Structure 1
């Protein structure tokens, strides 16, 4: 399903849903960050997705990372919460979702990198190499907050 991000855009459609979600900054022993190139918009992104009934935000983060990258992870901290009501995601099925995401920090504990139906590529990147990658502003904020080491950020 195609997706378009709008942030602080006066032409953005009005939100019609709000879904808790997790994103994950996975960092390996070489201080590299795990990213995936999404099939819905072609941009590089953190693993993550919507929370399901019956799971915690941490369980959501672990599940989504496994589903999208093939890696198992251990949650080690929080990067921040991202709840900008002027940031919406418009899907081709008519859903326009207001941002509500908790970005967690994790380390890999097992598995092997693989793509999924949500990704074209999955790879590790040195933090300095991330700037050259195409990614939506909301994901770049999370990566920049992690790199800045600000501690938990609320946006």
Structure 2
């Protein structure tokens, strides 16, 4: 199997510190043991101290940095709409609800949404692809996505570069290529995204969808 797709952008020290902050914040929430939570809190403190110096300008008070970091915003997700030579779309069967969906997931700190779309396709089913264009942006509240949180979904049309060794993963039970008129039962929220992806591919979507 080939290597996982990686961004060509080289992170600077501030970007690495922001990624360190994200790891510490997530770990502090998910860690089960008190001592592990304390360690992740320490990671957060180190990241705060590092970034407060800004490295390119005057030192900022840590409280100012923390206020910017913890502004609550909607989550961001990216999907990969990949097509084969016959115009069929790759869908994965999720193991949490048994329904089908575009490969995709939350964007991580330090990567672009486009990078996240191809990374998720790799992680979920072993597909290597490259982004062609943005299909649309979708608000989870208006598309029926089954989530208690507000999520902004970005969907990208992707060109397949290697699909010879597709496989299931911890997140997927199956995968398949589907034509527009024979799509499997879709996970909530994916109906409009899959529809628009087929329309964009066929040239019948007048503009990028924003909803």
| TM-score between the two structures when normalised by the length of structure 2 | 0.59
Q: Of 166, 180, 185, which residue of structure 2 is paired with 1:127?
A: 180
Partners of 1:89 and 1:22 in 2: CA distance: 16
DSSP-derived class of the 1:85 partner: helix
Gaps of at least 5 residues in structure 2 are 1-71
Confirm whether residue 59 of structure 1 aligns to residue 115 of structure 2. yes
Q: Deviations over 1:88-110 (max 9, x none)?
A: 534xxxxx221211011001101
Structure with greater helix share of residues: 2
Query: What corresponds to 2:190 in structure 1?
Result: 139
RMSD, aligned α-carbons: 1.8
Query: Going by fraction, where is strand more abundant, 1 or 2?
Result: 1
Structure number with greater CO (CA < 8 Å, separation at least 6) is 1
Match of 1:73 among 112, 125, 129: 129
* 1:1-155 aligned within 5 A: 18-85=74-141, 87=144, 89-90=146-147, 96-111=148-163, 112-130=165-183, 133-149=184-200, 150=205, 151-155=207-211
Q: C-alpha displacement at 1:137, in angstroms? A: 4.1
Report the 3-state secondary structure (helix = DSSP H, G, I; strand = E; otherwise coil) of the residue aligned with 1:20. strand
State how far apart, in whole Å, the 2-side matches of 1:134 and 1:127 are: 12
- Aligned pair count reads 133
Which of the two has higher C-alpha Rg?
Answer: 2
- The answer to whether the Cα contact below 8 Å between 2:140 and 2:189 also exists between their aligned partners in 1 is no
Match of 1:9 in 2: none
Shift of 1:48: 0.1
- The answer to whether the 8 A contact 2:145-2:189 is kept is no
Question: Which consecutive aligned stretches of 4+ in structure 1 deviate over 2 angstroms post-superposition?
Answer: 84-90
Preserved CA contact (<8 Å) 1:21 1:49: yes
**Hey, what's the Cα distance between the residues in 2 that align with 1:84 and 1:62?**
21
Unaligned runs of 5+ residues in structure 1 are 1-15, 91-95
TM-score, normalised by the number of residues in structure 1: 0.79
Three-state SS of the structure 2 residue aligned to 1:89 is coil
Cα drift, residue 84 of structure 1: 4.2
